[in-house]
Amino acid sequence: MDAEPLKRFLKTEGATLVGIGDVTAALSSEIIHLRRGIAIAVNRNLNRETVDQLIRLQALAEGWLRAKGYRSLSIPADSDRKKDKMITKLYKLFCHKTAATCSGLGWVGKNGLLINREYGSKLSWATVLTNAPFRADAPTSQSECGDCDLCVRHCPSGAVKGEHWTLADPLKEIVSYEKCRALKTRRISHSSKPNCGFCITVCPYSRNGNNHGTT
């Protein structure tokens, strides 16, 4: 089944990137019937408006699929997860990076973040899983970070190890989340922005003349 009409539709509605990934290998038994991941990205700062935009795009995708008789499950943006719901349990079974890499929209960089060749890490992601039998895009299987180790050298907590990600071993710990979190915890007491963000600011792909959208 051709996914182009859906991709075009979501892009006219404001999506920056839309990809279709075969995510079968990453699915746990609860959601194993939803074999395609629709990765949706917008190139905006992650704030309330961006989240609302992603929610709107997901709802549009779900409606489009429903009208054709397919199932779907929206995995909301990471910053929009209501904590006390039963359905929330399913969200953490699936990670947006999986949909993005499986649909060829980027790789997981040495900094542990999804890097897109054009936009770097300056994208906000949401995923819609579906059982619609879309023809999947070609996945990204290798990191394209190469020899660059700017994020390794600039990470103030020493969390970035310099490992290469591969699609074959997506669970390898590339960044020591413990060290990253420890720094964040220390910063919370004296900063309103506890995420230091150096690993994004120094990344050539994220710098690459790419400002966020107008916001």
Partner 1 sequence: MADEARKKEIYEKLRNGVIQYDEDACREGAQEALDAGLDANEAIFDGLVSGMEEVGRLFEAQEYFVPEILMCADALYAGLDILKPHCKQMDLGVRGSVVIGTVEGDVHDIGKNLVKMMFDVAGFHVYDLGRDVPLDKFVDEQLKTDSELVCLSAMMTTSMVGMPTVIEKIKAKNPDCMIMIGGAPTSKDLADKWGADGYAEDASNALKEAIKMVGFLKKLRDEKLNKK
Q: Cα 15 vs. chain centroid, distance in angstroms?
A: 13
From 18, 73, 132, 151, residue interacting with partner 1 (rule: CB under 8 A): 73
Does residue 49 bind partner 1 (CB under 8 A)? no
Beta strands in the chain (DSSP E): 17-22, 36-42, 72-75, 107-108, 114-115, 124-130
Does residue 81 bind partner 1 (CB under 8 A)? no
CB atoms < 10 A from the CB of 10, how many? Answer: 21
Which pair of structure tokens corresponds to residue 207? 């710098």
Least separation in angstroms between CB 33 and partner 1: 6
Does residue 85 bind partner 1 (CB under 8 A)? yes
* Distance between CA atoms of residues 165 and 162, nearest Å: 10
Does residue 87 bind partner 1 (CB under 8 A)? yes
Does residue 23 bind partner 1 (CB under 8 A)? no
Distances (CA, A) of 160 to 202, 206, 215: 13, 17, 29
Q: By CB under 8 A, which span of 19-27, 79-87, 162-170, 187-195 interacts with partner 1?
A: 79-87
Nearest Cα residue to 180 out of 163, 196, 165: 196
CB atoms < 10 A from the CB of 108, how many? Answer: 26
Does residue 55 bind partner 1 (CB under 8 A)? no
From 56, 66, 68, 71, residue interacting with partner 1 (rule: CB under 8 A): 71
Site residues for partner 1, 155-184, by CB under 8 A, read none
Does residue 31 bind partner 1 (CB under 8 A)? yes
Nearest residue (CB) to partner 1, 128 versus 175: 128
Does residue 86 bind partner 1 (CB under 8 A)? yes
Binding site for partner 1 (CB under 8 A): 30-31, 33-34, 71, 73, 85-87, 89-90
